[in-house]
């Protein structure tokens, strides 16, 4: 993603419903600083257009013909040339197994298709910055889903390489705290908190904060009872 403030955020829409694509395009095209670079009706087309346009954001539906959104997300995450593409999953179903699979595959976060327009626009900008992609409310729902799941400590073995500080910021991020809230909690600067988060993500191979949260719970670094 370009650091140039004048460059528009480039968005790819991937959804098998033409009406849904048209609605998202109309909303995004009407917003200053956002440009829709393409539309795709299935995951394979979406992957091809992602490679062609390298957008900042790919809004990807979960269930599609030919190639699902999860498969497309996994392929985008695995392609070094698409490292700057942030996938935001679109779903009708809320927090379900599809969403968890998508986050594990490398998605930056997710949105319900009936989300308010302002929330969609905000999410696009937040995802493009690579900032916190899961709101505290969503993180609490994620925690609830993990309650019945025993930790799988083989999921993210890289946690053993984290320093004490990196483990601490990862745990706080997994509870839904922003960089500013983490900084206040640890009595450090927001820049230092962001640096610790970035280093933890690098060590774990996490593309973004959403994956860091999933890794933290699945590895057992944080457990639901610690709420």
Residue 29 has pLDDT above 80, yes or no: yes
The residue that leads in pLDDT, 185 or 140, is: 185
Q: What is the pLDDT of residues 43-63, one digit of tens each?
A: 999 999 999 999 999 999 988
Residue 2 has pLDDT above 50, yes or no: no
Q: What is the 3-state secondary structure (H, E, C) of 103-127?
A: HHHCCCEEEECCCCHHHHHHHHHHH
From CA 191, how far away is CA 169, in angstroms rounded? 12
Paired residues of 178 in beta bridges: none
Could you tell me if 35 and 9 are in contact, meaning their C-beta atoms sit under 8 angstroms apart? yes
Q: How confident is the model at residue 138 (pLDDT cuts 50, 70, 90)?
A: low
The residue that leads in pLDDT, 68 or 133, is: 68
Q: What is the DSSP string of 10-72?
A: EEEEE-S-HHHHHHHHHHHHTSTTEEEEEEESSHHHHHHHHHHH--SEEEEESS-SSS-HHHH
Residue 128 has pLDDT above 90, yes or no: no
Candidates 223, 219, 205; CA nearest to 106 is 205
């Amino acid at each position: 993603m370009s650091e140039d403030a004048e460059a528009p955020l480039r968005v790819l829409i991937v959804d098998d419903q033409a009406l849904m694509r048209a609605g998202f395009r109309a909303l995004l095209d009407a917003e200053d600083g956002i440009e829709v670079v393409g539309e795709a009706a299935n995951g394979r087309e979406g992957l091809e257009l992602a490679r062609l346009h390298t957008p900042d954001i790919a809004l990807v539906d979960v269930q599609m013909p030919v190639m699902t959104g999860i498969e497309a997300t996994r392929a985008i995450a695995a392609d070094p040339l698409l490292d700057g593409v942030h996938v935001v999953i679109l779903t009708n179903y809320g927090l379900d197994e599809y969403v968890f699979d998508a986050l594990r595959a490398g998605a930056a976060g997710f949105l319900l298709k009936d989300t308010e327009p302002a929330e969609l626009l905000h999410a696009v900008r937040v995802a493009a910055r690579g900032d916190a992609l899961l709101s505290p409310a969503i993180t609490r729902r994620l925690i609830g889903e993990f309650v019945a799941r025993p930790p799988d400590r083989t999921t993210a073995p890289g946690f053993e390489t984290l320093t004490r500080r990196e483990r601490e910021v990862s745990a706080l991020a997994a509870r839904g705290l922003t960089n500013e809230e983490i900084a206040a909690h640890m009595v450090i600067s927001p820049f230092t908190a962001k640096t610790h988060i970035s280093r933890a993500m690098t060590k774990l191979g996490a593309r973004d904060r959403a994956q860091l949260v999933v890794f933290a719970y699945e590895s057992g670094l944080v457990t639901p009872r610690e709420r």
